[in-house]
Structures are given as structure tokens and as C-alpha cells.
Structure 1
Amino acid sequence: MGNKVGELRPSQFITTFGPGSIVDLPDYSVIMGGIDKWDDLDVSKSKSIDEPRIMKKLRIKQIKSIPINANSGSDYGTIPAYRFPEYHVCPKCRKLGKRNGRDFFEEDGVLYCKNPDNENGPCPKVKTHPVRFITACKKGHIDDFPWEFYVHRGQKYEAKKCKLYLEDEGATGSLKDLVVRCKTCDKERPISEAMSNNRILGNCSGNRPWLRDKVQGCEEERKLLLRGASNIYFSSLESSLVIPSKPEENLEEFVRNNVDLDDDELFSDRSFFDKYFKRKPDINRIGLDKVWSIVQQIKNGNKNKEDDDLKIPEYNALLTEQYNYDGIEFEVEKANVPRRYRGFISNLIKVKRLKEVMVLKGFTRIHPSPDVTSRLSRESEGEDGGSSDQVELAPLSSENKPNWLPGVETYGEGIFLTINNDKLNKWENKFRGYEKSMESAHKKMYQERDLPDDAIPPFEGLRYVLLHTLSHVLIRELTLHSGYSSSALKERIYSDAKNEMSGILIYTSTVDSEGSLGGLVELGNEDQFESIMARALAAARYCSGDPQCAEHDAEKLIDVNGAACHSCVLIAETSCENSNRYLDRSLLVETVANYQREFFNNV
């Protein structure tokens, strides 16, 4: 790989700075290259992460750790990155352009301006910086701002002769003061026009600089964005907990490893199949009928929807008393539910050891993926048998379907609890009207993002809002007692009425296997958790923003959040699985608005 220009942690690459993202460096900015641009040797040497459930769902053969250079002092990088945007501006003469050797020249990777045509004389080797403005579209394409096209208002021009300048008149500090000028053609235009009307920028160029190619015929409108804007890059992740596999899962894996599934002749004739595998002791020992059935299921693609649902197996595993598995970072211990909450909480589990695997499967621009809350359950299947993301993710590779994806594995501990399902069902039925109001706000949120009705993901239901809000108030309280910071704790919500799932996992995980301090698990003991729960619910009753925070009546609900703000319920977005949405503390306890829809009453 080429010269090293910077360093990233593996977890940063998965969540924030993956392929297609922009990284600001001291002297310029770069866009991270696609995974097909990585060096084959570096990828081969990096560790393979074993998590069959994610590999099966994403239809990939490998999950690879982020390649790192063992020699920290090395001058060579392992992940490719390309200079972007290409346009730079000189802070002294305001010359605007690309590296060309005449006006802008490169020295030790830094772009300098000498502008020999400057009215006040050539620039004395001034260091340039990348322009603040770029364009992108909803399909993930990204490009430099079309400076020549924009300043000439679509009229003919000779790009090689035009001398562009980006001048700041500095009268008000607004975008109206920022004007692009072509001194050759005597044309000028303020940037504010492009900000107020994206249509004047024309259709998207289809440029994919992270893949070094261009897609023809993209009909999306270009959007003007700031280079450091947060909506330039939204990573789309698949994550799961590594749990002990079931016997039938082990059996299917055994068949895949010991049977040539590409031999169509062998699997079209049962009698031939029996004769052939009678001579294979390991296959014959399992049973030819059973092996034949598994092979046919694999060949025909027959499977239950639950095969792609990562949360149902996790939920069951967390509720099953496990012994300490060798080689598997998974250990749980059942704790007594505090007497005070036994009518509300069914199970309290201390998760002493866990391992989480996160895989980067793509990204979006402008708007986050609409199914961010439906990663694991209720996902529909596409025509190819894979899960449908209901939105087109920008690819990580030029290849149609890469057989591997980058991922990280983290280790930690946590507390898992489930809500009494019978009581929860009665509560849900009682407040169907409020649920419909939140569902309406849910649909409106996606419609405002110009998402077609058939692409809007289903509303998770009032059950999810209750569990999600309870998770947040517990995280805020646990932070004060566990020794972990608020951003170090994460949540995993198990909400599915059909499968009778109503659980919350609050956990912490780091890339270091020694990252668990034990402070969180110990708070899962009966006495300590009773105190934590009582404090969390008491804190949810009042907010410094009341009464305004609490007053969100069903008829006036215009947001997917009810009684929730930064003073009472919201937490760090890195800790929340749903970007601090679908929260309402009035569903937990009685607030000053007293809507009488609280689940935890008389406690």
C-alpha cells in the first residue's frame, strides 16, 4: 500500500470512516477507498472473524478484521485513500483550482499555490486547503462542486482558460458574501443560490471516487453539502452477539463442509445419492434421510424467516442457563428479580461475558437507512432471498456481490431483563389509540424525507417505545454507579409481540478482551438492581423542561418522540440503537401531564 497519511482505530472504520467517507487531515482531506482496492496480501493476513449467523444473513463467505500494520512506526498504510475534494482554494489570493503544476503544485503531499497570474504578484508558495463545498446524491454518489458550470450558468466555456476565484466579501458572514468569479469570462455567482435551489446544479454526475469509477445515467438531483457535514456518510451495520450454536446449526455446517453441493447429478437421484454416501462412514452415521433433507433445503433455498433474524436466537440464548463454553465468549447467570418489581419484570440475567460482532455492509448519504430500527427483526426478504434494506445502499466494492465484508469484534458484559409479557399485552391493547398516533408520526417522518409509502418500514409498536425508553433511563442511572461513562454503555432492544419478545440488554464492549471491568454485571444483583430501577423510574417522573417536555398529547403528536428531551431521556447517540427516536417517559411513569398511560404504576 502507499504512504501513510493518517491513522484510524478499527472501530472508527466500521462506524464513521468506512469506504466512501471523508477524512479531514491537517493539509488536505481524503475519501476512504473501497474494499476491492485493499491490498490482497493485507486482507489475507488480517484475522477472519467467525460469526456464521451474520455470514449466512449477508450471503458472504468471510468477515475480515481491518488490516493493521504490525510496525507502528511504518510509513506505509494498509487502507487506501484518495484526495477528495480535488478543488483547493488559496487563502491568500483566493485562487480556486486543482493540482496542475502551474497554479497549484504538490510538494511532499501538500498542495501549494504560486498563482503567477495574480494581479498583486505571484503567491509566495502558500499552502492551500480543500474547498468547503461538495455535491452528493441519495444513491451515494459524490463529486466536487461544479464550479465552472455553476459560475457560467450552464453556458459554454473553456475550462483550461478560465481563472476561477472564490472570494469572501465578508460583509455579513452569510453565504451571500461567498462569491465564485471567473476573471477570464467576467462572470460571478454567489454560493447562496446553490444552497437555496439544488436544481440549478443539474443531475448527479454518478461519480464514485472511493471506487475510482463513475455510474452513467444517474437521474438524482445533486445536493450541495459542506465537506464536514454529518449527513455525508451514514454507515449501515449488521451486528450480533456470538452465542452457542444449536445442534441443527452444527449439522448443517457439517453437511456444507463434507458434501459437494455443486454436484447436481448426485442430488437429482435419491438412489444414486444413497449408494454414493453409504460408503462415507461420517455421513452414513448421521443418517442418509436426514442428510438428504438438509441438502434439499440448502439447494432449494427453503428456510424459515427466523433463519435471518439475529435477535430471536440471542433472546433465547440469554434466557437459557449456560455453562462456561470453551472458546466462546458467552456466559450468563440468572439473578433474582427484586420483589418490588416481580409483577413487571419476568427475568433478570447477569451477562458475565459476551462478544459482539459488527459488520459494515454499506452506507447512505443525505439520509440514514430507513430500516435502521429493523436491522434484525421484521425484515422482509428481497427477490434474491436476501434481506431487503428498502433503500439502496451505496456499495463498498465495485464487485456486484463481494464474498467478504469488513468487521470488528468487541468483548464485554451486560445486564439483560425481560418485561412480563401478559401484563405488557394488556397494556398495549389499552392504548392502541396512542399507538396509532405514534405510527402516524412515524410515517410522516419518512414521508418528509421523500420516501415512498411502500418503502417505509413498519412501526415497531408501543411495546418498542416502552422498552426503548426504559433502556435509556436505566443507562442514565447505571452510568452513575457502574464506573463506565455514558457513551461506553449500549443497548439492544428485543421487541416482537408475535414471538413474545420483550427484553432489554444493556451492555458495554470494547475491542480489548480485558475491557470488561465487572462493574456493570455486579449491578445486576437483586438488591443493587432494585435501587437502580427505583432511582431510574423516579428520575423519569420529572424533567427540568417540564411542563413543556411532558405535554405531548396524542392528538397533538407531531414527532416520533413523546415526553423526551436531553434533560430527561436522551443519551449519547453512539449508545442508542435508534438515534434517540421513539422515546416517551409518559409510558413508563406518571409525569406532570398525567396522561395515565404509564406501565409502571403503583411502584
Structure 2
Amino acid sequence: MNNKIGELRPSQFITTFGPGSIVDLPDYSVIMGGIDKWDTFDVSKSRTIEENRLKKKLGIQQIKAIPINESKEFGTLPAYRFPEYHVCPKCRKIGKYRGREFVEEEGVLYCKNPDAEGEPCNKIKTHPVRFIVTCKKGHINDFPWGVYVHKKGKYDPKSCKLYLQDKGETGSLKDLVVYCKTCNQERSVSEAFSNNKILGKCSGRRPWLRDFENNCEHDKELLLRGASNIYFSSIESSIVIPKALEQEGIEDFIKEHIDLSDDELLDNRPMFDFMMKRIPDINRLGLDKVWNIVQKLRDETNSSNDLDLKTPEYHALLTEHHNYEEIDFETEPEVVPERFKEYISDLVRVKRLKEVMVLKGFTRIHPLPDLTARLSGETDDSNEDNQSGTAKVELAPLSATPQLFLPGVETYGEGIFLTVNQEKLQAWENDHKTYEAGMVAAHIAMYEERKVPVNEIPPFPGLRYVLLHTLSHALIREFTMHSGYSSSALKERIYSDPEKGMAGILIYTATVDSEGSLGGLVELGKKDKFEAILARTLSAAQYCSGDPQCAEKDVYELKDVNGAACHSCMLAAETSCEKSNRYLDRSLLVNTVANHQREFFIIE
């Protein structure tokens, strides 16, 4: 690797600045390279994160931690200068570092334009242009300045001298004009914003992979270099849960000692025999017997569509109340306060937990329509690849060719888990079918407004999900007041599935590269403290400083599938919410000033 040009935290790489993202540096900006561009030795020596459930769901062999160079003299993650076009702040000349007027010294581009009006530029530091072009498939390229200003005329890169002039009359994009001094041609940048057809079809360039993808059918779209919609990371996460301390049966024993995802080994009987002979405990069972069992288990694994990450977590949080040595999972059941036994079935203090987050791709312009649904384990990812059509959003790859690993990070922390009484919840759901139908209509309308095809619209998560999600946000706001953690430090996982009997909430905090936590959150899970917390939570949810307007929002007027919910009462930090602050309605939680009489908790 070359000398480092900047530093990123591992969590930043996974969430914000992964492959394909643009990072602004003091003197220029770069685009982060794909994982296939990483140094192979750096990858090999990087720590492997063990989480078999995530590896199975993502179809990979390894989850690798972000490579780190302890000496800090050299970078471990490749990055390439992007955009290549720079502009001089003095003479407004546009050019690349290969141009005659722009020279590079120690990585910085300087303008030495002899043709500048007035006094020639004398080593003026340039900066990257503000505009780039991209498409819905994730391709990205420099804005075609020369072709754009000449329209259908001839553009000669060698002789044409381009300038980006700012007339400064109104401060709008109409004042920003591309000008060719050689051909005396000019054109406002605002035209490209108003009509994408002007820019033509996408070139298919993937600078983070150093290649082009042929036959892209999407139109180019003009974006600002620092726009928030230029990069949406797609992350899969799971809470690491322990296996049983003692495996029973030969099949479980074999699963522990043989990797059923190793196709090369399991497709080659001679190689299998050669390798297994070296494992005394396997060899002792008999290679023929083990081979037959392995093939059976492999067939069952391949035929299984159970990629649900949340169901095992839900049951582990309820049943695995043990302290595991060398495993970051420790739970302790707590007595439910008598006052809320009618509503809450289980209360669990999660003293230790570990979350693994894996970056699997990214999108541009729009996030995946069902991204949060997949994060919640509600939909299948099988239709994610090979999508086509202008209305669909595609996941851009992290590498030019499939890799056996994906980058990930581990976070450690604590939490509080609770479940809602199933019998009371089912009765409440049956009483409010009409309201649920209204929310379903609002859900569909939201996606249709974004021109998502009907067959691409994810299923409505259910009225119980809206209730659980609202309760989670209300609790997060109250926990923030007493735990010592900020609201952005707390996260949620909602377990909602009527068919599987799931109705739970896990509110937790997790920190990268930190063993353990402060203990302030799990302490609030004790019976007496939680009783007071929940009472204050429900009481606070009755009123909002935005009332009566907030409380009067009803499903039949919804545009964002939120009912009585706003920044003053229910919305949380985007890093905390798994549904992008959607599907919230405190009128389902408690009675509000609007008195809709659809609340789950009856406060005396």
C-alpha cells in the first residue's frame, strides 16, 4: 500500500465510508476501493469474526475485520482520487491532474494557468469539482464537462479550455456556467439538473473497482459530490448467541468438527478421507458413516430456506439464561412488576451481548425499498440480484469478482429485553383490524408514490410491529434520561411475528472495540427501576408539545405511514431505528388528547 492519506474507524467503513463511497480530504477527495483491491496479506492476517448464522445467510466463508496497520505509516484500505476534475478558485479553470495547467506536488493539485485573466495563476491550490454523475445501478463518473458545454458540437480535449464560471447574480444553479474559452461556448449547469436525458446513458464506470460494466441502460443523474444520497450502505447484522454447552447426538458432533459449507471438501471423497483421517475423533467414528451423515446434513442445509436471524435470538434471550465462559452473551431474567403483568410477559436483563455487522453492498440515489424489512428478517433477499428496470434499485457490488469474505465489525454492549403478553396482544389486534387496513393502504401508497412496482412492495410489517416499534422508541427516549447513554448510542431490535409467536423488544447499546459497557442501561432493567421507567414512558407518550396537531394525525391522511408521531415525541436517531423512523403511532400505545380509543396500555 502507498502512504496513508487519512484514517477511518472500522465502524465508519461499514456504515458510511465503505467501497464505492467518496471521502473528502483536506486537499482532494477519494473513492474507497473494492475489497478485491485489498492487499491479500493484510486480509489473511486480519482477524476472522466468527458468526456462522451470518455467514450462512450471506453465502460466504469468512467475515474479516477491517485490516489495520499498527505502525500507522502505511494505509491498509486502497482509495483512488475521485472526482478527477478539479477547479481553480482563482481563474475558475477546470481540468485533470494530467492537464498542462494543473500540476501535482505531493498529491496536491496546483493551478499554473498562464492564460488566466489579469495575473497568471502562480501555484494556486485547486479543489475537486462539486458535481458528479451516477446511476441507479451504482455506477459513478466525472461530470462530462467538455461534451456537455459543446452540446452536439465537436469537443477536443487537447485544445479546448474549460472554465466553471459563477456569475453570482442570484446564488442559484443558473449562475453556474460551464464555458469553453476556445470555442466560445457556454451552458448552465442547471439544465442538467432539470433534465437527466441531457446527460445520456450511463457509461457503466465503477472507479472503486477500476473497471467499466457494459450495457448499462440507466440514465446518468447529476448529484453533488457531498450529497447524502450518493451512498447507502447495505448491512446485515445479528446478535451472537451461544450454542448449547453440550451437544448431543452424532449429527451435532459432526457439525461441530466439519464445515458443511466447504464444497471443495464435500464434493471430493478422496480428499475428504485424506483430511478426516487426521482428526482422530472423526476417524474413530468411521469415514463411510461420517461421509453419509455429512451428505445428509449438507442436503438439509442446502434445501433449507430458513435464513431468519431473529427467531433464534428471540428464543435464546428467553431460554438461555446462563453465564457462558468466553462467550459475550449473559442474561438474567427479572421479575415483571406486578403493575404491568397484564401487559408484559417477560423482562430480561442482558448483561453482555455482542453484535456483528457485515457490509454486503451499497446503493446510490435511493436506498433499497425493502432494506429495513430485510434487516428485520421479514423478507427474502433472493430477488436482490439481477434486477432490471428503471423503477428498481440494485445493490452495487463490493468487488469485481465474488469474494469468499465480507468485511465486518463486532460491537459489545448490554441491553434490556421484554416481551408483550401474547393473549392480550392478539385480542387487541383483532379489535383494530379496520385501523390496520388503513395503515396497509398508507404503506402501499408510500411505495407507489416512489414508483416502486406493485410486485416489489414489501409486505406491511403488521399492527403489532407498529405497537412494539412505538413502545421501543418511547422507552429509548426515557432510558436516555437515566442510563448515561445518549439516544444515538441506543439501538433497537424488534421481534414481531404472529405465526412464530414473537412479540419482543431488545433495546441495547453496543460499542466498537470495547469490551463490556458502562452498565447504566442494564441496571434500569431491575424490577423497581423498570416499573418506574415504564410508567414514566407511558405517561410521557400521552402528550406531545406538538399536540393537538400531532395527536390528530390519522391513518387515512398518512403519507409516511406514521400516525401520532413527530420529532417532539417519538422519532429517534437514524442510527437507533431499524425502520428509518417509520411505522410509529403513539395512539396505539396510550390514549392521546385525540382520544381515538385504540390504545394497548390502559393507564389508570
The TM-score, its normalising length taken from structure 2, stands at 0.92
Q: CA contact under 8 A between 1:334 and 1:349: conserved in structure 2?
A: yes
Distance 1:507 1:406 in 2: 23
* Equivalent residue number for residue 42 of structure 1: 42
* Equivalent residue number for residue 369 of structure 1: 368
Give the C-alpha shift of residue 435 in structure 1.
1.6
Distance 1:10 1:469 in 2: 31
Distance 2:214 2:262 in 1: 43
Question: 1:256 aligned to 2:259?
Answer: yes
* Equivalent residue number for residue 96 of structure 2: 98
* Equivalent residue number for residue 389 of structure 2: none
CA 1:134–1:250: 2 relative to 1, 3 Å? farther
Per-residue CA deviation, residues 455-512 of structure 1 (Å, 9 max, x unaligned), is: 2211111111111111111000000100111111111111111111111100011123
* Equivalent residue number for residue 240 of structure 1: 238
Secondary structure at the residue paired with 1:256? coil
* Equivalent residue number for residue 569 of structure 1: 570
Q: What residue identity is the alignment partner of 1:192?
A: S
Question: 1:485 aligned to 2:491?
Answer: no
CA 1:562–1:250: 2 relative to 1, 3 Å? farther
Q: Within 5 Å, which residues of 2 pair with 1:514-533?
A: 514-533=515-534
Question: 1:14 aligned to 2:14?
Answer: yes
Bigger CA drift: 550-559 or 200-209? 550-559
Distance 2:228 2:468 in 1: 28
Question: 1:511 aligned to 2:512?
Answer: yes
- Structure 2 portions without partners, runs of 5+: 387-391
Give the C-alpha shift of residue 381 in structure 1.
5.7
Give the C-alpha shift of residue 300 in structure 1.
6.5
Secondary structure at the residue paired with 1:210? coil
Give the C-alpha shift of residue 257 in structure 1.
6.9
* Equivalent residue number for residue 463 of structure 1: 464
Q: CA contact under 8 A between 1:283 and 1:291: conserved in structure 2?
A: no
* Equivalent residue number for residue 210 of structure 1: 208
Q: What residue identity is the alignment partner of 1:45?
A: K
Distance 1:159 1:260 in 2: 52
* Equivalent residue number for residue 452 of structure 1: 453
Bigger CA drift: 284-293 or 361-370? 284-293
Distance 1:489 1:536 in 2: 16
Distance 1:515 1:2 in 2: 35
Secondary structure at the residue paired with 1:520? helix
Per-residue CA deviation, residues 520-576 of structure 1 (Å, 9 max, x unaligned), is: 111000110011111111111111111111112232222211111110011111111
Q: Within 5 Å, which residues of 2 pair with 1:118-157?
A: 118-157=116-155
* Equivalent residue number for residue 560 of structure 2: 559
Distance 2:77 2:96 in 1: 24
CA 1:423–1:300: 2 relative to 1, 3 Å? closer
User: Taking every aligned residue pair, what percent have the same amino acid on both sides?
Assistant: 65
Q: CA contact under 8 A between 2:61 and 2:261: conserved in structure 1?
A: no
Q: CA contact under 8 A between 1:589 and 1:601: conserved in structure 2?
A: yes
Q: CA contact under 8 A between 1:261 and 1:299: conserved in structure 2?
A: no
Give the C-alpha shift of residue 289 in structure 1.
7.1
CA 1:573–1:423: 2 relative to 1, 3 Å? same
* Equivalent residue number for residue 30 of structure 1: 30
* Equivalent residue number for residue 330 of structure 1: 329
**CA RMSD, 1 decimal:** 2.5
Give the C-alpha shift of residue 442 in structure 1.
1.9
* Equivalent residue number for residue 359 of structure 1: 358
Secondary structure at the residue paired with 1:587? coil
Q: CA contact under 8 A between 1:321 and 1:333: conserved in structure 2?
A: no
* Equivalent residue number for residue 424 of structure 2: 423
Give the C-alpha shift of residue 447 in structure 1.
2.4
CA 1:77–1:384: 2 relative to 1, 3 Å? closer
The TM-score, its normalising length taken from structure 1, stands at 0.93
Q: Within 5 Å, which residues of 2 pair with 1:406-445?
A: 406-445=407-446
CA 1:71–1:265: 2 relative to 1, 3 Å? closer
Q: What residue identity is the alignment partner of 2:519?
A: G
* Equivalent residue number for residue 170 of structure 2: 172
Secondary structure at the residue paired with 2:500? coil
Distance 2:385 2:396 in 1: 19
Q: What residue identity is the alignment partner of 1:394?
A: A
CA 1:287–1:391: 2 relative to 1, 3 Å? farther
**Of 165, 186, 199, the match for 1:201:** 199
Distance 2:410 2:133 in 1: 34
Per-residue CA deviation, residues 319-345 of structure 1 (Å, 9 max, x unaligned), is: 014321121100000001111111111
Give the C-alpha shift of residue 438 in structure 1.
1.8
Q: CA contact under 8 A between 2:164 and 2:178: conserved in structure 1?
A: yes
CA 1:481–1:281: 2 relative to 1, 3 Å? closer
Q: CA contact under 8 A between 1:163 and 1:184: conserved in structure 2?
A: yes
**Of 85, 89, 93, the match for 2:83:** 85
Question: 1:282 aligned to 2:282?
Answer: yes
Distance 1:430 1:538 in 2: 23
Q: What residue identity is the alignment partner of 1:323?
A: H
* Equivalent residue number for residue 541 of structure 2: 540
Bigger CA drift: 346-355 or 587-596? 587-596
Secondary structure at the residue paired with 2:165? strand
CA 1:134–1:207: 2 relative to 1, 3 Å? same
Q: CA contact under 8 A between 2:411 and 2:513: conserved in structure 1?
A: yes
* Equivalent residue number for residue 585 of structure 1: 586
Q: What residue identity is the alignment partner of 1:346?
A: S
Give the C-alpha shift of residue 280 in structure 1.
7.8
Q: Within 5 Å, which residues of 2 pair with 1:277-356?
A: 282=282, 285=285, 292-299=292-299, 301-306=301-306, 308-356=307-355
Q: CA contact under 8 A between 1:364 and 1:393: conserved in structure 2?
A: yes
Secondary structure at the residue paired with 2:587? helix
Give the C-alpha shift of residue 420 in structure 1.
0.8
Per-residue CA deviation, residues 420-463 of structure 1 (Å, 9 max, x unaligned), is: 11111121122222222222222222223332221221111111
Q: What residue identity is the alignment partner of 2:396?
A: A
Distance 2:13 2:372 in 1: 21
CA 1:130–1:266: 2 relative to 1, 3 Å? closer
Distance 1:283 1:579 in 2: 52
* Equivalent residue number for residue 55 of structure 2: 55
Give the C-alpha shift of residue 292 in structure 1.
3.0
- Structure 1 portions without partners, runs of 5+: 268-272
Distance 2:67 2:345 in 1: 44
Q: CA contact under 8 A between 2:282 and 2:290: conserved in structure 1?
A: no
Per-residue CA deviation, residues 385-418 of structure 1 (Å, 9 max, x unaligned), is: 99xxx8521000011x211000000110000001
Distance 1:289 1:458 in 2: 45
